[in-house]
């Protein structure tokens, strides 16, 4: 209710009563009011016609995040300064259990409400960016204000906070609410949404923003195109990326080197290296200079496909164009050439790198050392190994492993063992490949006892786990020395440790068993491997071949009959395998007899019963 005062209203008294903050609902507010100060002037009170009672207060003021520093209207953001209300509200966002109550009490005390612009601005502030839970609570609280409705910018700011926290589920939920609003898309909102959706791999949402931009006739910026293309590529939507790229080519904003690099990355990830190379050619057509990222992306793709010639061609193109060649590029080129058996060419690139950069690194040194060692050029490998130490690089376990492997392959086992002792004395880590090279070398040299001892030492080394490869090479050595029982114990130990056999591992075992006259045992183990998901495709072929090579034709034929009788393979295939095995073993007569006869695939009638002609007839007739 109102109470009329006796004194007349003085001009300007109402304006003195009203704080600048208590104006119309859409007026910018400059500073927080002080209620005590408003009531400190008795003249103002006595000169007013009426005052408000608690039951008839003025409506709360909607506050905005900025106020103008001058009396002139300005549209430039640099002319705007954050309202003092912003810091006060941000200070209340402490994440405590009373946070919402504190916000309500503060706003009620000063008779204010937070506008959607204010909420969006606070959510975008640095203080809130890393507090997704607090930000979400604040957004939820703001929505409960009377006559309040979130704007598009509120959702955009909140999605940005959640995207920084990689909270995909909540981002999807908020995006669903944003879509239901039907708000008009703005350039800044579209850019932010494209960036966040692209980063999180939300392709459906990304394309929705793209469509809304077109519906609202928003011309995408270079910023928007960059994030849109990158988001689609990261989600492997290469065809959609192509369509967006074509739109960009026909728009006012033409693709730059970053956009081309994104397209090239997409093609390379999808395994379409040829299309990626075509994009490189397209860049040259429009006189757009590729950068080191362009070349590196293509080189990595070519390297992974084993196309080392193209990799080398790209390197030469970089050198010709005076484009910076990063260390990783040299690693790819040198590694590719060395893998291709071109260790001298790889060394030439290595020397060129040193000439330009003066120093390589441990990885590149190791690649060249390993290449020389595998090519049998151990002296060159050792010389480069010493040169690496002279250049101030400390060899790691991989470097020592490359040297040891080369020495073992060259039969220089004593020198290899010296390196083992050196590494142990100097606390250089010894990995599984280091041990495996030595065990393999000792096994090949017939020093199986030394290999077993080293294997036991490897088992005691807590930092070095045995691999299926280590077990395989030791089993091969034991079978070579006719130590069948010990080889089988090693196989059982491997299975008990949960190490899954490989096709190569079973091949070594089956060949050893066949040569030891244990063909049936090999077949039993093969049957046991099927439930483990290990199905060597050429197991029977390998066993038949090794038996024929050893002159055990009768056992090979018996094995072939057993394979067919149990339905493990079709007769025609086993017949072909046996013919090839006999031919390679030098038994051309038996191979011709098998090829022109009906053995294995034909049938003989015995009374009323048809029986397939056994392979064993081949050696019995």
Evaluate whether 14 touches 48 at the Cβ level (below 8 Å). yes
DSSP 568-618: SS-HHHHHHHHHHHHHHTT-HHHHHHHHHS-TTT-EEEETTEEEEPPTTHH
Beta strands 112-114; 66-68: pairing state: unpaired
Count, in order, helices (H) and strands (E) of the chain: 35, 6
Pick the CATH number of 396-499 from 3.40.50.620, 1.10.1060.10, 1.25.40.10, 3.40.50.2300: 1.25.40.10
Contacts 24+ apart (CB under 8 A), 14-21: 14/48, 16/41, 16/44, 17/44, 17/45, 17/48, 21/61, 21/63, 21/110, 21/112
pTM (two decimals): 0.62
Alpha helices in 1-51, H assignment, sequence order: 13-17, 35-38, 42-46
pLDDT at 31: 45
Instruction: For the chain, give every domain's residue range.
Output: 1-183, 396-499, 513-621
Which residues, at least 6 apart from 407, have a Cβ–Cβ distance to it below 8 Å? Answer: 373, 378, 413, 415, 416, 419, 441
* CA dist., res. 583 & res. 593, Å (int): 11
614 token code pair: 């056994």
Residue 14 pLDDT > 70, yes or no?
no
Tokens of 577: 């395998």
For residue 254, give the nearest of 225, 277, 281, 274 by alpha carbon.
225
Radius of gyration of the chain (CA): 40
List b or e across 248-270, with b for residues whose CB sees 16 or more CB atoms inside 10 angstroms.
Answer: beeeeeebeeebbbbbbbbbbeb
Distance, in Å, from the CA atom of 126 to the CA atom of 122, rounded to the nearest integer, reads 9
The 10s digit of each residue's pLDDT in 108-142 is 999 999 999 999 999 999 999 999 999 999 999 99
Task: Supply 21's token pair.
Answer: 């903050």
Helices (H), 430-550: 432-444, 448-460, 468-480, 484-496, 503-515, 519-529, 539-549
Reported as a single tens digit per residue, the pLDDT across 72-87 is 444 445 557 889 999 9
First vs last C-alpha separation in the chain: 125
Alpha carbons 14 and 441: distance in angstroms, whole number: 101
d(CA 331, CA 32): 63
| Residues 20/55, Cβ–Cβ less than 8 Å | no
pLDDT in tens, 213-257: 888 888 888 888 888 898 889 888 889 889 989 988 888 888 999
The Cα–Cα gap between 345 and 339 comes to 11
Query: Quick one: pLDDT band at residue 23, thresholds 50, 70, 90?
Result: very low
CA–CA distance, 193 with 223 (Å, rounded to integer): 12
Q: Looking at the DSSP assignment, which residues form a beta bridge with residue 605?
A: 610
Q: Would you place residue 40 in the very low, low, confident or very high pLDDT band (cuts 50, 70, 90)?
A: very low
Percent of the chain with pLDDT over 70: 83
Q: Residue 11 pLDDT more than 60?
A: no
The residue-averaged pLDDT of 166-192 equals 90
Output the six-digit token pair for 34. Answer: 């002080």
Q: Is 298 exposed, middle or buried (0-12, 13-18, 19+ CB in 10 A)?
A: buried
The size of the chain, in residues, is 621
CA dihedral for 315, 316, 321, 326, sign (positive or negative): positive
Lowest-pLDDT choice from 256-265, 461-470, 549-558: 461-470
Q: What's residue 621's pLDDT?
A: 56
Least confident among 47-51, 382-386, 534-538: 47-51
Confidence category of residue 462, pLDDT binned at 50, 70, 90 = low
Cα–Cα distance for residue pair 402/79, rounded to 1 Å? 66
CA atoms of 574 and 580, how far apart (whole Å): 10
Would you say residue 61 has pLDDT above 70? yes
Q: Residue 83's CB: how many other CB atoms inside 10 A?
A: 22
Mean pLDDT of the chain: 82
pLDDT at 281 over 90: yes
7 pLDDT higher than 60: no
């Amino acid at each position: 209710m109102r109470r009329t005062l006796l004194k007349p209203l003085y001009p300007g008294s109402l304006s003195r009563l009203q704080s600048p903050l208590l104006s119309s609902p859409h007026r910018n507010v400059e500073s927080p009011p002080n209620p005590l100060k408003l009531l400190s002037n008795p003249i103002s009170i006595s000169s007013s016609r009426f005052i408000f009672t608690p039951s008839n207060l003025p409506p709360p003021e909607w506050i905005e995040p900025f106020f103008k520093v001058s009396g002139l209207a300005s549209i430039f953001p640099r002319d705007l300064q954050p309202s003092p209300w912003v810091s006060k509200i941000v200070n209340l966002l402490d994440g405590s259990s009373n946070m919402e109550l504190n916000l309500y009490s503060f706003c009620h005390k000063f008779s204010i409400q937070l506008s959607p612009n204010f909420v969006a601005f606070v959510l975008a502030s640095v203080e809130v960016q890393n507090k997704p839970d607090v930000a979400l609570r604040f957004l939820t609280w703001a929505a409960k204000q009377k006559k309040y409705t979130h704007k598009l910018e509120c959702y955009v700011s909140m999605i940005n906070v959640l995207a920084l926290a990689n909270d995909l589920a909540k981002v999807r939920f908020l995006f669903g609410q944003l879509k239901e609003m039907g708000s008009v898309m703005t350039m800044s909102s579209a850019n932010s949404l494209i960036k966040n959706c692209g980063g999180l791999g939300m392709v459906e949402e990304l394309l929705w923003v793209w469509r809304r931009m077109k519906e609202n006739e928003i011309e995408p910026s270079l910023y928007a195109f960059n994030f849109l293309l990158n988001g689609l590529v990261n989600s492997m939507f290469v065809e959609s990326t192509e369509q967006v790229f074509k739109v960009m080519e026909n728009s006012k904003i033409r693709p730059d080197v970053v956009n081309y690099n994104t397209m090239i990355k997409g093609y390379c990830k999808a395994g379409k290296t040829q299309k990626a190379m075509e994009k490189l050619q397209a860049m040259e057509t429009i006189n757009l200079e590729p950068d080191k990222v362009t070349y590196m992306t293509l080189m990595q793709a070519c390297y992974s496909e084993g196309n080392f010639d193209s990799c080398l061609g790209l390197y030469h193109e970089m050198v010709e164009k005076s484009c910076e060649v990063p260390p990783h590029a040299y690693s790819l080129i040198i590694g590719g050439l060395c893998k291709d058996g071109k260790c001298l060419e790889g060394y030439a690139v290595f020397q060129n790198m040193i000439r330009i950069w003066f120093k390589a690194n441990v990885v590149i040194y190791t690649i060249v050392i390993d290449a020389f060692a595998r090519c049998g050029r151990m002296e060159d490998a050792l010389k480069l190994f010493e040169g690496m130490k002279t250049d101030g690089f400390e060899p790691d376990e991989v470097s020592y492993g490359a040297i040891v492997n080369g020495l073992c392959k060259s039969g220089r086992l004593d020198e290899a063992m010296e390196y083992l002792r050196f590494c142990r004395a100097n606390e250089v880590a010894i990995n599984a490949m280091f041990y495996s090279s030595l065990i393999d070398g000792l096994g090949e040299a017939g020093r199986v006892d030394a290999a077993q001892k080293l294997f036991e030492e490897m088992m005691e080394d807590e930092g070095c786990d045995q691999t299926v490869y280590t077990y395989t090479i030791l089993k091969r050595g034991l079978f070579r020395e006719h130590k069948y029982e010990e080889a089988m114990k090693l196989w059982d130990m491997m299975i008990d440790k949960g190490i899954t056999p490989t096709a190569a591992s079973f091949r070594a075992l089956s060949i050893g068993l066949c040569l030891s006259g244990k063909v049936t045992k090999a077949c039993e183990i093969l049957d046991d491997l099927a439930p483990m998901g290990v199905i060597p495709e050429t197991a029977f072929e390998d066993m038949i071949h090794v038996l024929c090579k050893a002159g055990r034709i009768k056992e090979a034929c018996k094995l072939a009959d057993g394979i067919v009788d149990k339905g493990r393979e079709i007769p025609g295939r086993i017949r072909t395998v046996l013919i090839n095995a006999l031919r390679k073993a030098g038994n051309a007569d038996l191979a011709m007899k098998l090829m022109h006869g009906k053995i294995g695939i034909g049938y003989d009638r015995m009374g009323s019963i048809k029986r397939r002609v056994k392979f064993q007839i081949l050696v019995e007739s």
